[in-house]
Amino acid sequence: MVQKNLIEEKNRDIVDSIRYARRIQKAILPNDRVVKELLDNSFILYLPKDIVSGYFYWVAKTKNKILFAAVDCTDHGVPGAFMSIVGNTILNEAVNEKGLDSPAEILEYVDVKINETLRDENEMFSINDGMDMALCALDRQRNVLEFAGAYNPLYIVRDSELTETKGSKRSLGAKDDSKQFENHQFEVKKDDVIFVFFDGFADQFGGEKGKKFKYKQFKELLVKIQEHSMNNQGKLLEKRFNSWKNDLDQLDDVVVVGVKV
């Protein structure tokens, strides 16, 4: 009985520590005021699988551009949360200290800094984790959108049609610089909706047969909800995710960022 009580007490201490870590992780995320100030017509759906998350979203401003990203660290829970803090710090450094505003250049910088931060010369203490990212830079004055992705794509919905631009097949921190991150540039127009996200939504098991939601259905859903305000689009996505998942466990963290031009 004494041993049982001791184990329960230690478990409570661990969970309390992780819950406090969630407060720290939440503090590094852009708060609602900042998001609405920079991206006034947008939503962010953020559904961690565990108490803390290996996914995060990021928003920043340069002189002429609004930058926003969805980021996937290659682990869940506490390890992923530590990586998210590393990633957030490097992104802010790239923009605020180095003055970078090209998505591809920022990804290259993040890749170098992750390798410098996490790799040990003799590899005894090296960490092989890294991250994937979908990063956008929106210039509202010129109506130009730039995008670069580390494995993850960009969706743009215009006039009820969805177009996809794939990211580069290279992860951040993968010690593979054989491929350069490609900087895509688009002319955007009023009412275009930009989406960056990760696979947590499409990969979730659920429905009547307990199957994956899949990307085809995810794309159709994004087009279908375009008649609604951005705030309501976020709510509708969350409602659909929860109804699909129903009583099944959440498979992965979920991040979807939607921005209307």
CATH number of domain containing 245: 3.60.40.10
3-state secondary structure 34-100: HHHHHCCCEEEEEECCCCCCCEEEEEEECCCCEEEEEEEECCCHHHHHHHHHHHHHHHHHHHHHCCC
- The range of the structural domain enclosing residue 91 comes to 29-260
The pLDDT of residue 21 is above 50: yes
Report the C-alpha gap between 172 and 149 in whole angstroms.
Answer: 10
Give the pLDDT confidence of 106-116 residue by residue, as tens digits: 999 999 998 88
Residue 14 belongs to a domain: no
If one counts the domains in the chain, the total is 1
Residue 38 belongs to a domain: yes
The model's pTM: 0.88
Can you give the pLDDT at residue 126? 43
The pLDDT of residue 46 is above 60: yes
Q: Distance from CA of residue 195 to its chain's centroid?
A: 11
Q: How high does pLDDT run on average in the chain?
A: 87
Report the C-alpha gap between 166 and 155 in whole angstroms.
Answer: 9
The pLDDT of residue 128 is above 60: no
Q: Distance from CA of residue 170 to its chain's centroid?
A: 16
Q: Pick the more confident residue, 216 or 117.
A: 216
Residue 87 belongs to a domain: yes
Residue 19 belongs to a domain: no
- Name the phi and psi angles at 12, rounded to 5: -65, -40
Give the pLDDT confidence of 205-259 residue by residue, as tens digits: 999 999 999 999 999 999 999 999 999 999 999 999 999 999 999 988 899 999 9
